[in-house]
Structure 1
Amino acid sequence: MEKIAVNRNVEMHLSLSRADLWLFICLSTYFIMNGAQLWETVIMTPAWTAAPPASLVFFQAPYGLDFKVFWIVVHSCHEVIFLLALVFNWKIRARRLPLLILFVVHVAIRVWTLAYFVPTIIEFQHLPFSNAIDPELVVKAAQWRHLNYLRVGLFFIVNLLFIPVFSLQSTQQ
């Protein structure tokens, strides 16, 4: 019996360590993603949204920027890590609901991203370059930019809310 108890305690300790580790990896990955979002939001977005279609030169071939693959890889990796953090923390009752809420909010922001931001930026990327400035496109680009500030802010808030989850009781109940 003692041997089983010792093994169970070791197993429980390893499980808690994995829970904390995956939570830390998820938080760290989120910070890396937030850094890339911040860079894009502060540097790139104001430039391409300034005066379309003239400012859309960033997207034009043959040297146009296309962050699609980068964001697909970053978000996919982060979401797998997020799911692993959720799985490894599931038995920790104090963490389960906060992590589940953060995941649902994260997924809602991603759905918004895929429903509005992705198709809209793809539409901008496919517009032919022109030295002219189209007032309707300027308004549409400004709306995208302002909503993007909100979206990136929400991603930052979700990420920062991971920090207090670490302080929640890390015992399985």
Structure 2
Amino acid sequence: MGIPALVLIAIATLLACVLVGGGLYEKLVVDPAWPQRPGIIQARNGGISRRRFWVPAHSLFELVLIVAIVAAWGDAAVRTALLVALVSHAVTRIWSLLYFVPKAVAFEKADPVEVDESAALRWTRLSLLRLPLDLVTAGSLLTALAVA
């Protein structure tokens, strides 16, 4: 395997770790607070804009991961680890796009006083279940990097 493939795997690994870090930040800092204070996640009310981080972070990660898979396709062990990362990430993204994103958008657009706190708490608890999938993705990429 050449240096360009190794660099792409390293960048994908770094980006996967950034995604894990972003998820941990949300779980530890944002999610404990916003169900009681929805304005925290509403940019129009002075809160954070999650999409300003997540959309570019996921887009860049997915692009680099796909290019890394193409570049490393000839190495079966590396390819397998990269495909595990791709599948675990795809499961997370599909689940997110079908459930979490629509709910998050609804919470962000709602009047803060009308947000159902129990629904918000349910969202944060379920969202925590995405973290193990993110860890599988990052771990698979670390494996690919070590094998490469």
TM over 0.5: same fold? yes
Aligned counterparts of 2:44 and 2:84: Cα–Cα separation in 1 = 42
What residue is the counterpart of 1:61 in the other structure? 44
Aligned counterparts of 2:142 and 2:44: Cα–Cα separation in 1 = 42
How many correspondences in the alignment?
A: 147
| Post-superposition offset of 1:62 | 4.2
Farther-moved stretch of structure 1 (61-70 vs 27-36): 61-70
What residue is the counterpart of 1:5 in the other structure? none
1:27 alignment partner, one of 13, 17, 29: 13
Q: Percent identity over the alignment?
A: 25
Contact 1:60 1:129 in 2 (8 A): no
Letter in 1 for 2:141: F
Contact 2:6 2:145 in 1 (8 A): yes
When normalised by structure 1's length, the TM-score is 0.77
Structure with max Cα Rg: 1
Contact 2:88 2:134 in 1 (8 A): no
| Post-superposition offset of 1:98 | 2.4
Match runs of 1:121-160 below 5 Å: 121-130=104-113, 137-160=116-139
Spell out structure 1 runs of 4+ moving beyond 3 A. Answer: none
What residue is the counterpart of 2:68 in the other structure? 85
Aligned counterparts of 1:102 and 1:60: Cα–Cα separation in 2 = 32
| Post-superposition offset of 1:166 | 2.9
Deviations 1:30-70 (A, max 9, x none): 11222122112210111112x3xxx1122263423222132
**Structure 2: where are the runs of 5+ without partners?**
none
What residue is the counterpart of 1:106 in the other structure? 89
Contact 2:78 2:144 in 1 (8 A): yes
When normalised by structure 2's length, the TM-score is 0.88
